[in-house]
Chain A
Amino acid sequence: MSETLVSESLESPAAALLDFLAVSAGAPARSPIAARAARAGARMVVRNGFAVAGDLAGIDRERAWIAGTVGVRDASHLPIAELEGRAAELAMAELQGPVAELAGGLGPATSGPGIATYRDGGWWCRLHPGRLLVVGSSAGIRGALDVTSSLAGVRIEGPLARETIARFCALDLRDREAPVGAVRPGSIARTPGIVLREAADVFLLLFGWAYSDYVWDVAIDAAESLGGGGVGADA
């Protein structure tokens, strides 16, 4: 974590805790599709404190989908933090420095609008000058709001990942237009969302928590039509 981000206080001494926004280790947390996964007989595991499906159709089969066609994985347990206003500006200033080479990517990402930077275990996504989303890491970021449960997520993985997404999303995700690290706010299955390209064949789709059932249905329908399906956290 950068020195600036951790050292400068952005909160008044009598600031509210806002703990009710966050997921607590003191109580079980569930992914929004945990209930349906459990009903479908999935083996449940805990990830980041969340109950999520470990596997849905058998790990070997799911791995074959990811290797050969496409797998759709629940990623709602990913920590997500949101920075706004001055906190976002400070973080952006920090991110203007050298950017790490992305392992397995199409090339080095550059920080800026539409491109996320991978740092400290999370994707720092600049949505607009005054708003930054950190996906995959939320702990200890000064001035950040924990919005983990505001945005649910699915990861679409495999050689047919882009094709699967094209079944319900009109964003331009061609390699040239959306390289690894690309962040694209837009419509996902007719609901507001964000697409983050994490690797050549891995896309993270973030959308409103309450739409999870619906988006999962849509994504699975598309994946199954292409020979893939839903996969669990262990696949």
Chain B
Amino acid sequence: MSRLQPRPGEGIDRTREVSFTFDGKPVAAYEGDTIASALYAAGRRTFSRSFKYHRRRGLFCATGQCANCLVHVDGRPGIRACMEPAGHGLCVTHQNAFPSLERDAMAILDHLPSAALPVGFYYKTFIAPRRLWPVYERLLRRASGLGRLPATQAQRTWRTEYRRRHVDVLVSGGGAAGLSAAIAAAGLGADVLLADEGLELGGRLLDEGDHDRARDLAAQAGAAGVEVLGRASVLGLYDGLAAISQGGTLHQVRAARHVFATGALEQPLLFDGNDLPGVMLSGGALRLLARQSIRAGERAVVACTGDRGLRAAGALAAAGVEIAAVVDVRDGGRVLAAEGRAGVERVRLVDGDGVVRTVAADLLVVSGGDAPALGLAAQAGARSGWDELRAQSVLVSLPRGCFVAGSVAGEVGCERSGEAAGLAAAHSLGLGDPVSKAREVALASDLPAEVVAPAPLPVDSGGRRCFACLCEDVTVKDIEQGVREGYESLELAKRYTTVTMGPCQGRICQGQSAAVVGRATGAGREIVGSTTARPPWTTVPLGALAGRPVEPAKRSAIHAWHRAHGGVIRWTGDWRRPYHYGDPQAEARAVAQRAGLIDVSTLGKLLVRGPQAGELLDRLYPGRISTLGIGRCRYAILTGESGRILDDGTICRLDAETFYVTTTSTGAAGAVQWFRWWQTGWGLEASVTDLSQGLSAFNLAGPRAREILASVAELDVSADAFAYLDGREGVVTGVPCLLLRLGFTGELGFELHCSAAHAEHLWEALLEAGGSAGLRAFGLEPQRALRLEKLHILVGADTDAESTPYGAGLGWAVKLDREEDFVGRWALTDAAGAAPESVLVGFRVSGAELPREGAVVLDAGGAAAGQVTSARHGPRAGGSLGMAWMPAGLADDGASITISDAGRLLSATVSTTPFFDPEGAVVRS
């Protein structure tokens, strides 16, 4: 039993027992235990199996830095057992081992010759024969990964909350430095948030037995008004946004100032078998001892490069651990190998006198010095460099608004360092007074730094199982082989060997990997540098980053009606629209023979007002708008500076200074921005108001449309009073409307625009009024078929970023015979000077087959020459109709063309005039 008698300051409450299960077996624990400490106290030494070779892995860092103790907890994979409180009733299971943790079938990989799984094997094997890749892929997918998610979304019951926060100062790290920084900044009036991963604030103060000081600082922070996020990991910084994962909450914090008090990461040593259960960082052994009163072993060897390891040896000895040997690198000693079957049984070492001996031990405590935890600071833009004297990477520069405190700055006076950083952060916000500023200067002037010896590299490359990267099972030999194959920089070695790419994100392995690369290439450690720091800085469930499962969607004011009446809803841009109501052909026939009503509320709708509104539109459109008569509408295309089609729609002049502009549904937002961008520069006396969402719009179309409208409208809608392309304000069924005589479907049509608040009433009233006339709702699909018969284009479907009005057959909408300039004039003038090479025309297929949109138009030689943009069966004209871009030479009316579509060759005839009502008599009726 490794649990000691009660010790002063311990973090467990022995009066409160909890129980959980591990792989189905009960485990007793105390409140204050972690899952890992409870398992360790119960005698468990193997916590997981490694990623590649399925080697046994034991508790190594016990501080949440490595991936050795990842487990499933209540179905959630990848939980760090050393950071997760032992909760009553938890169901904990191992991961990455089958059938059991003790007997893992995949452990056979550890006994294969090295050539079977060479470094970068995924680039070298499983690539031939190529036809077997689907098989390989399935195998690799099954073998890869560590944990397993529940099979279905419904079983993944956890939920992530998202909290956006703003604070003056965010302190990352709740050790002595972080707490001191937070207290100092809050004391000057700053709004301070502190995030710390630990179960309790205090960091290494707690691990090293100074519980009282840790708790005193925590109490001071609380009294100063510091808001503490406990058990909260700062995942990363994204352009100033700090993402902090805290249980089921992801905090998104924007801080005016950052203080990084992220401490230092104790580094391991390189020797054969350095991954055996029983090899443990000194910080981990001390944490178990100080917080949970657990003795990590009975007989220990301590190997270190600095005083930290020696202090650990003293503490362990005081707790009753027999210290069999101390190997101090500074004295010339080193560990050659840790040996044992399921854990450390012996340690082979060289002592300071150069004598090789083997020492029996069940615990090998290692301490390869501290590496400042620079990841977050680096993500914020800090730069680091190699300090030969300190044998570690150190900060060279910090970005504005960022401060560091404590070990991450290489300083050992953590409280002084923290206070200085906190004061500096607050002062940079304009807080404080001369006294506090003098205090900051005094504190910052004399902060000592610890000097340690560099951790030695193994002379013989560390044997077969000397791991540089525990997460990814990358050995020293692997990295050296990678260098021999040409991956000579740390970044390349990372990508080739995957070293530093595991869950620890390089915390444990980056320093020694860089050292190995440095030795293998002959470059100095300062040349090798470090890999780019990227989020996440610690493990986080992907689900926490995914956001709530709700997608922004625009819906028409009568969306509920569409759903209730069988509307088949699909995305159209950012709108949810009914494509049809179950029978698109019948809907199209209704429009052609009687009347149909379609919801076109998705159209962009702008009101352009002011004395210079006409001039604004004249400058924006290639057509002349200011000459439009009051109460009249005009079709207009919008072109960009290159003369290409951006959008199209109609413009109705409501009075001398007011124009109502419609755009396409998907182009509305772009058109609004386009209008305002130009208007901002021109500064004309005109305003642009976006009414796209505020107004609903319905198109009543068909031979009986006028009759239906007349029955409910309080205005004269006769052909004489309300002609084609007229626009009128009027009341329909009590609703004030703007009515436009338009005919996108080719039928007699009226577009009714009204406040979205009245939409449902107007829609239902129209349907009711038209019921006896056979009126029915129709969706987008029949509308597209009907408009195709008229060769009315759909911008974005029938055009692309290269389409000009001339190619699209819309040259008539461009008015170059005016003096004033407009957007795209130069390009359109140029385009007008020559016949377009490619044109958009209609075609009718011989037979009933329909080409798909995107099918290829072939030239006489059978080469691809054009592309089908739309194709439908014609509801009125019959047959298979379409539109396509093709070379002008092929596009003569009546010319024969061939369309190739996924192996089919279709014969078709070109038509440059509409298939239905080419003279426009119907639409004008």
Q: Which residues of A contact B (CB under 8 A)?
A: 12, 14-24, 26-32, 35-36, 39, 50, 76, 82, 84-85, 130, 145, 147-151, 163, 166-172, 174, 176-177, 189-191, 208-214, 217-218, 221, 225
Contacts and interface: CB of A to CB of B under 8 A. Distances in A.
B760 A30 contact: yes
Contacts of B548: 168, 218, 221
B650 interface: no
A172 B254 contact: yes
Contacts of A208: 554, 693
Interface in B251-269: 252, 254
Interface string B636-662: 000000000000000000111110000
Given A23-B757, A35-B560, A210-B554, A16 B687 contact: no
A217 B551 CA distance: 10
A26 B655 contact: no
Most B CB within 10 A of own CB, among A16, A169, A211: A16
Interface stretch (B63-71, B158-166, B903-911): B158-166
Contacts of A21: 607, 691, 694-695, 755
Contact of A218 (B161, B550, B601): B550
Contacts of A169: 164
Nearest to B733: A27
Contacts of A177: 166
Given A15-B658, A19-B729, A167-B163, A190 B552 contact: yes
A14 B729 contact: no
B575 interface: yes
| Interface range on chain B (Cβ under 8 Å from partner) | 35 or more
Interface in B734-760: 734-738, 753-760
A213 B689 CA distance: 23
B559 interface: yes
A171 to B, nearest CB: 8
A84 B679 CA distance: 14
Contact of A147 (B159, B553, B691, B760): B691
A26 B735 contact: yes
Which of B658, B687, B759, B760 has the most A CB atoms < 10 Å from its CB? B687
A16 B654 contact: yes
B731 interface: yes
B559 A213 contact: yes
Contacts of A32: 557, 756
B687 A130 contact: yes
B655 A16 contact: yes
20 contacts: A15-B655, A17-B729, A20-B736, A23-B755, A24-B735, A35-B561, A35-B760, A76-B757, A84-B609, A147-B689, A149-B557, A150-B694, A150-B756, A209-B694, A209-B756, A210-B556, A212-B555, A213-B559, A218-B550, A225-B159
A153 B685 CA distance: 31
Contacts of A82: 689
Given A21-B755, A23-B758, A24-B734, A167 B162 contact: yes
B890 to A, nearest CB: 43
Nearest to B731: A26
B484 interface: no
Contact of B691 (A150, A171, A190): A150
Nearest to B610: A85
B191 interface: yes
B555 A210 contact: yes
A147 B694 CA distance: 7
- Going nearest first, the 10 A-B pairs with the smallest beta carbon separation are A150-B694, A27-B734, A16-B654, A210-B554, A35-B560, A19-B736, A29-B757, A26-B734, A84-B687, A172-B166
Contacts of A221: 548, 550
Nearest to A85: B687
Contact of B575 (A168, A174, A210): A210
Interface of B: 159, 161-166, 191, 252, 254, 548, 550-557, 559-561, 575, 601, 607, 609-610, 630, 654-658, 685-687, 689-695, 729, 731, 733-738, 753-762
Contact of A150 (B254, B601, B693, B762): B693
B254 to A, nearest CB: 7
A36 B555 CA distance: 13
Contact of B758 (A29, A147, A163, A190): A29
Contact of A148 (B559, B687, B735, B755): B755
Residue of B560, B693, B760 contacting most chain A CB atoms (<10 Å): B693
Nearest to A170: B164
B661 to A, nearest CB: 14
B694 A174 contact: no
Nearest to A38: B560
A130 to B, nearest CB: 7
Nearest to A145: B689
Contact of A27 (B191, B554, B692, B762): B762
A148 B656 CA distance: 25
B793 to A, nearest CB: 25
A39 B560 contact: yes
Contact of B655 (A14, A39, A151, A172): A14
Nearest to B248: A225
Given A29-B757, A39-B560, A14 B695 contact: no
Contacts of B692: 210
Given A16-B655, A17-B729, A85-B687, A149 B695 contact: yes
Contacts of B554: 208, 210-211, 214
A189 B252 CA distance: 14
B550 A210 contact: no
A85 B694 contact: no
A209 B555 CA distance: 8
Contacts of B555: 210-214
Contacts of A23: 755, 757-758
Given A213-B553, A214-B555, A221-B548, A149 B736 contact: no
Contacts of A210: 554-557, 575, 601, 692-693, 756
